[in-house]
Structure 1
Amino acid sequence: MKNNVNFLAFVVALGGFLFGYDTAIISGTIGFVKTQFNLSTIMEGWYVSCALVGTILGVIIAGMVSDKYGRKNMLLVSSLFFALSAIGCTFSISFNTLVIYRLLGGIGVGVASMLSPLYISEIAPAKNRGRLVALYQLAITVGILCAYFMNAYLLALSTSDFMANTTGIVRKVYVTEIWRSMLGSETIPAILFLLLLLAIPKSPRWLASKGKLVKAKSIMQRFMSMEEADKNIKEVQTILSKDSAGIQSVLSGPFKLAMLIGISLAFLSQISGINAIIYYGPRILEEGGLKLGDALGGQVVIGVVNVLFTFVALWKIDDLGRKPLLTYGIIGIMVSLISVGILFFLDVKNPYLLMTFILLFIACFAFSFGPVLWVLLSEIYPLKIRGAAMSIATMTVWIGTTFVGQMTPWLLENLKPFGTFWFFACFMIPAIYLVIKVLPETKGKTLEEIENYWISKKN
């Protein structure tokens, strides 16, 4: 039973892998695309953030239809968007065409970013739900790392003797316009995601919300005891009978505080500056004294640290809980941002010292905001409209990411690197307050117990 639920979580977490891969693969293409299409600073930001606009659209679509048509069906749709985007970017004939296909890929990211952790939370037993949902974040970090390796590999391949005598489309994709092969490399994992999704069942809690209790119970019994499945089904029936989860309850009723917590943490996680490093890492590291080739290699190191410290969350999230990981992680993030800003302000040309503090930032994000946010967003909302409610909070993640993606070139140019990092650090102050003073601990509770907590708190 345990292996069954782990397999389901692994398959759905591949949506996180594609999310991370799509997010990071662009970092190696920015300079090449900017040069080929002669992009201004604003258009450079648009190239990065256009996919994020698509992501917001994807979240809206997923939120509108996943409660009606199911989590699995919408995940299948996301896999198709990933594949179409990768193929389309490879053969784009203009900058505008490239933007269109990046938008389509963004829609896939948006759908997967919301529904992958949501699906996992709805199949997971309460005792290890945090660990299983955190697999999604681990998959994101692995996707980011694989994208960094792929960028470095393709860059080296483009100048190798093997490619020296190539001609035609091969030379165009792998040498003269190498960004095409970088963006196109996402095709294989996208198709794998599609095929594996066909083998998983529909979410049992979604089925229960549609009155299909017998089928829901039979699916639950695949990965938990009969007694636990009975308990979960009875709790679901009780929750559904209360009629407490209309959309108005999320905006003004007993779940208003849960909504505010989710939205606030979602935005603050992105305004920490994580995506400034993911998207613009090579540029930032170059300004700190590294050459482009070394800077891309430095991003591989960032990716490795990101993966390793996500394991800390997998290890401790169901033991320590959500609040301690967030508290210590956000404090570490703020210290790192301030320190990097000081190095740039004092013009300390020591790339290794700069990398040390950037890696500290990545490590702290990887065991806190990275995994814990998705765990919280997948578990704090009511069953009847969990998809719609989570889409609102997830959309805030992508609004914050879009803001950072679009504005980072402007911030680096006008506030300089030191001002940019201090700007991000300021937003960690309200994040620390929110986690310590407002956020409840949810470890070890079933989704229905968490829902009842909000109802009882309001009453």
Structure 2
Amino acid sequence: MSTQQQTQHETSSLKFVTLISIVAAIGGLLFGFDTAVVSGAIGFMGERFSLTDFQVGWAVSSLIVGCIVGAGFSGILSDKFGRKRTLIAAAILFIISSIGSAIPETFNMYIIARIIGGLGIGLTSTICPLYNAEVAPTKYRGRLVALNQLATVTGIFLVYFVNLWISSSGDHNWQVDSAWRWMFGVGIIPGVIFLIALFFVPESPRWLVKKNRNEEATVILNRIHGTTLAKEELADIQQSFKKKQGTFKTLLKSPTLRMALFVGVVLAVMQQVTGINAVMYYAPEIFKAAGAGTNAALIQTILIGFINFAFTILAIWLIDKVGRKQLLLVGSAGMAISLIVISWCFQSGNADGYLLLIFILLYVASFAVSLGPVVWVIISEIFPNHVRGIATAIASMSLWIADYVVSQSFPPLLSSAGPALTFGIFAVLSIFTFFFTLKKIPETKDVPLERIETLWIKN
């Protein structure tokens, strides 16, 4: 193949892979939409159903319970039925949940619908980045997997404006009776788009090889790599599947797999316990505690959403240039410094000025360029083919459990220990993340999926 032909093929291949990766990343958009939409609806719902404080918390966290279960079963389902068919099932769950959340006449009906949606989010949060990792060329794998996180923060950012537009479309009685229903119901649109688009993407070539459907896998690999490289890739994939299909027991018995699982789980947990969702979920209350009025707090929250979005784009540009490890080191260091200053602001009584806002924004920027997208990239690529499904599911489930714990514990911790100590704890955990990354995480940039296992032997 001539240089010109090679260049043309690389361009065509990148367009093909980017398109199918974008389709898979729509699952991330639904993920972001479904997790954030309740923030605008909960006040009206609380009045409509006369919810207690416990029920308000359950209205938010019931989704996360579904996420934990969905993530837990994602590995088994995607290994048995394929990445594509499992994502189609997740899209159907999203649509059912959006309809069910929009029409309930009782609070319990709403909870059931949200748990169903959580099952879909748990599946997509695991399988979308895993699918993107399995179809992406090595040199572009980081940015294509990180598209899922960009889609997630896009969904979160957009839902703020959707909720604002819907809530301003009627008087208070209409808001209590109907506005929150429309907020959830809008989710049907991206859910249907995701479902239809999935029928136009191929199955993961690695899953096809696993099921001895080598001819189908070869067709897809040819489109991604070209004939010559596709043969080499196919041989590597086939070699990786000569090992017995992995189970949880397999993960624990092998020292290299045990280390990979340990790193994946710790990173997944660190993404949550360093405080990001505490800030994202409760930002208005944090700013109110610092002395901002309601309107000012909401404007500052939208600013946080914009920073999160902008720096996730920066991460996608950098991840295949500077590498995963460097982004994690710089980001976790920035998070730690920001959290220390935030804690000092509350401790010293200087929480009512611009310094607090600046360092909250710096914290969000540091997270968005590092732990936000990079953790999903790493847990989708560090496991060998024969255990990737179950191992990724375990790491993803750990992330959702940590999310649930932080979401439930942050409000009482904030009120009992105070914001200074609370953000101080997050700072210590960010410092731990920096040193854990420095000592335990190998660089996976430019390393083919089938050869990443050797990094754990070296490590």
Deviation at 1:249, TM superposition (A): 3.1
**Distance in 2 between residues matched to 1:393 and 1:234, nearest whole Å:** 28
Deviation at 1:41, TM superposition (A): 4.0
Residue 45 of structure 2: aligned partner: 33
Residue 440 of structure 2: aligned partner: 438
**Distance in 2 between residues matched to 1:10 and 1:124, nearest whole Å:** 12
Residue 257 of structure 2: aligned partner: 255
1:349-408 Cα offsets, whole Å, 9 max, x none, are 535433211111110010100110011011011212311110000000100111112122
Residue 397 of structure 1: aligned partner: 399
Deviation at 1:126, TM superposition (A): 0.5
1:40-84 Cα offsets, whole Å, 9 max, x none, are 444333222111000011112212211111001110111111111
Residue 137 of structure 2: aligned partner: 125
TM-score by length of 2: 0.92
Q: Is the 8 A contact 1:83 1:187 kept in 2?
A: yes
Answering whether residue 284 of structure 2 is matched by residue 272 of structure 1, we say no
2:327 aligned to which of 325, 328, 333 = 325
For residue 30 of structure 1, what is the amino acid of its counterpart?
I
**Distance in 2 between residues matched to 1:142 and 1:407, nearest whole Å:** 26
Q: Tell me how large the CA RMSD over aligned residues is.
A: 1.9
**Distance in 2 between residues matched to 1:153 and 1:383, nearest whole Å:** 45
The 3 A distance-change label for structure 1 pair 183 and 295 is: farther
**Distance in 2 between residues matched to 1:137 and 1:365, nearest whole Å:** 12
Residue 300 of structure 1: aligned partner: 302
Deviation at 1:35, TM superposition (A): 4.3
Q: Is the 8 A contact 1:341 1:418 kept in 2?
A: yes
Q: Is the 8 A contact 1:269 1:369 kept in 2?
A: yes
SS of the residue corresponding to residue 255 of structure 1 reads: helix
Which is worse superposed, 58-67 or 344-353? 344-353
The 3 A distance-change label for structure 1 pair 243 and 89 is: closer
Q: Is the 8 A contact 2:163 2:183 kept in 1?
A: yes
Q: Is the 8 A contact 1:27 1:278 kept in 2?
A: no
Q: How does 1:153-232 map to 2 (within 5 A)?
A: 153-159=165-171, 172=174, 174=175, 176=177, 178-232=179-233
Unmatched 5+ stretches in structure 1: 165-170
SS of the residue corresponding to residue 322 of structure 2 reads: coil
**Distance in 2 between residues matched to 1:369 and 1:138, nearest whole Å:** 13
SS of the residue corresponding to residue 444 of structure 1 reads: coil
Which is worse superposed, 426-435 or 240-249? 240-249
Residue 168 of structure 1: aligned partner: none
1:147-186 Cα offsets, whole Å, 9 max, x none, are 1121222233335xxxx9xxxxxx64x4545322222221
Q: Is the 8 A contact 2:338 2:360 kept in 1?
A: yes
**Distance in 2 between residues matched to 1:312 and 1:258, nearest whole Å:** 27
1:50 aligned to which of 51, 59, 62 = 62
Which is worse superposed, 367-376 or 176-185? 176-185
1:11-38 Cα offsets, whole Å, 9 max, x none, are 0000111111111222223333344444
Unmatched 5+ stretches in structure 2: 1-12
Q: Is the 8 A contact 1:285 1:351 kept in 2?
A: no
Highest RCO, 1 vs 2 (Cα 8 Å, sep ≥ 6): 1
1:98 aligned to which of 97, 100, 110 = 110
1:207-241 Cα offsets, whole Å, 9 max, x none, are 01111111101111122222221111010111122
Q: Is the 8 A contact 1:75 1:111 kept in 2?
A: yes
Deviation at 1:301, TM superposition (A): 1.3
1:81 aligned to which of 73, 76, 93 = 93
